[in-house]
Amino acid sequence: MVTAVQRPAIQPSNPSPSSLKAWLENPIEGTEWVENQLIEKDGMTLTHSKVQRRLSTAWAVHQAKQKLGGEVYTEAPCNTGQQGRKPDVSYLTQDLLERYGATKSLPQSFPLSAEIVSPFDYAESVYRKADEYLASGGEEVWLVLPTNQRIVVITAESEQTFRFHELVKTQILLPGFSIGVDELLS
């Protein structure tokens, strides 16, 4: 006689957070905390991943060569005030690294952040996210649009669009950094 053995349901090792504070203390991979709820970061494609790697590597190489200190991250959690975000690529200055480098999440936005925009993202939500970053400690935000082959660089004072075959440059952070839009997006 064969008897069926009922196994207990598998419980997630990390229960879903119930607040921004809980998410910041234990940021779950592949998620952000937006409008008081946990949302999955989706839209990761091969193109997105390739551009993310290229940009993070280029920023890190420049930061190291120029001996600027600080650190370049991918999808590191930060607090924008009301939301818990994970910019695709970000740079933390040496001063902020010394103050917050050992924490689970940054209590403000990164000084320099980049979001790689998918064709399914709404323009309003992407710009709202850039404004969130700037309002909570961010100084410069890059919106990278691989499908449209453009990069928009936003600061509190300006917004510049760089097209294919143009050289995109940092405006405030990582002084002297530039890269061809085609080099990053091809």
pLDDT in tens, 111-122: 999 999 988 889
- Does residue 53 form part of some domain? yes
- Does residue 29 form part of some domain? no
In the block, tokens 């600027």 appear at: 68
- Does residue 52 form part of some domain? yes
- Does residue 30 form part of some domain? no
Where the chain has pLDDT below 70, the residues are: 1-14
Structure tokens at 29: 């991979």
Maximum C-alpha span of the chain: 77
Number of structural domains (the chain) is 1
- Does residue 121 form part of some domain? yes
The residue range of the domain holding 178 is: 41-185
In the block, tokens 């890059």 appear at: 142
Q: What is the pLDDT of residue 15?
A: 72
Integer Cα distance of 136 and 58 in angstroms = 25
- Does residue 122 form part of some domain? yes
Strands 112-116 and 89-92: antiparallel
Q: What is the pLDDT of residue 97?
A: 98
- Does residue 34 form part of some domain? no
- CATH label of the domain that carries residue 126: 3.90.1570.10
pLDDT digits 0-9 by tens, 76-93: 999 999 999 999 999 999
**Which residues are CB-neighbours of 160 under 8 A, at least 6 positions away?**
152, 153, 171
- Does residue 31 form part of some domain? no
